[in-house]
Amino acid sequence: MADVVAVTGSTGFIGSAVVRQLLAQGREVRAICEPGARTTSLDEVEASLGGSGRKVDRCTADVTDFAAMSRALEGCGALHHLAAVYKTWMTDPTPLHRVNLEGTTATLLAAQHAKVKRVVYTSSIAAIGLEEDGKLANENTPFNLFHLANDYILTKWQSERIAMQFAASGLPVVVVNPAFPFGERDAAPTPTGRIVLALLKGEVPGVGVGGFNCIDVEDVAAGHLLAEEKGRVGERYVLGEHNVTLKEFFALVCEIGGVKTPKLPLPKSLSAAIALGMELWADHVSHEEPPATYRSMRYAQRHAWFDSTKARAELGLPSTPLAQSIERAIRWFRAHGMV
């Protein structure tokens, strides 16, 4: 493995976990930070190093800027490209398309120019289609979510196709598709962390049908390092573990958090209507990210369940109990005054 590893999106939830695990392996890390980005998570990683003497080589670069990224990747043997806008709603989605699509193209062109020997591209399970309710999707399931896809889902599907084209042209790219991550240092918070916070604050009126796949953020980070080491070029790997219903997940979060579990059953039509109302309020009144949007709710009403056999068999993907991940997430949120 290469001595110098570049990580874009290093200030993010998963990115900071990747940086921490690379440092734990004794690797030299170049954390590429978005201009003006909050660095809370990365700061915590560096603080956790204590007096070890290990430092993160930080540099600032816009991932859509080919020249800046070429300079940032100079001398790097490996790249973990995690930089992306993970939002289910924005007043103006232009930055989401710019970072997720143009950023992927410019960064991979820069990696090609810098002759990076190994690239791990972070996609999402959102870039993979869904099977009928109750059946598990995998890396071979074709994308079939155009009727449900929001801007984030569409850009992750499109940017993964870009990454695969680079792999086909000779750039040694391995793709990972993380499920919904939970754990410590979700400073933004991400849409997944917002679910936990909403439950803890009693802002969820009831529970509807559907389910999703989730995984500990540290396991996702480990999956990135394993993909760099063992992944096959041009292949994708689902980094997921626990297939749970919304009802099961809500009950577990509330039990661990010591709050009342929402039990009011919400039919699909009512849940979708509530989410639409939240989205319209955000669009026209509050201009702040709503707890849910119409399309994200329609996606959640499916059983977005996945099979991670390939990542376990080929990479050795670890598995942390879901209760442990949620407990760590709640403890971190409370310690940082977010609840």
pLDDT digits (tens, 9 = 90+) for 26-53: 999 999 999 999 898 888 888 887 655 5
- Decide: helix, strand or coil at residue 302: coil
Q: Which domains does the chain have, with CATH numbers?
A: 4-186+214-241+305-319 (3.40.50.720)
pLDDT tens digits for 62-114? 999 999 999 999 999 999 999 999 998 999 999 999 999 999 999 999 999 99
pLDDT bucket at 321, cuts 50 / 70 / 90: very high
Helix, strand and coil percent figures for the chain, each rounded to 5: 45, 15, 40
DSSP reduced 3-state for 306: strand
What is residue 52's predicted lDDT score, i.e. its pLDDT? 59
What is the distance between the alpha carbons of residues 155 and 151, in angstroms, rounded to a whole number? 6
Q: pLDDT value at position 249?
A: 97
Place of tokens 């080919």: 66
Q: Is the pLDDT of residue 54 over 90?
A: no
pTM, rounded to two decimals: 0.94
Report CA-CA distances (Å) from 277 to 183, 293, 297: 30, 8, 12
Indicate the SS3 state at residue 63: coil
Specify the pLDDT at position 45.
87
Closest by CA to 107, choosing from 15, 171, 197, 151, is 171
pLDDT digits (tens, 9 = 90+) for 151-175: 999 999 999 999 999 999 999 999 9
Q: Distance (Å, rounded) from C-alpha 302 to C-alpha 307?
A: 16
Report the pLDDT averaged over residues 270-278.
Answer: 93
| Kind and range of the H or E run holding 18 | helix 13-24
pLDDT at 186: 94
pLDDT at 223 over 60: yes
234: confidence class by pLDDT, cuts 50, 70, 90: very high
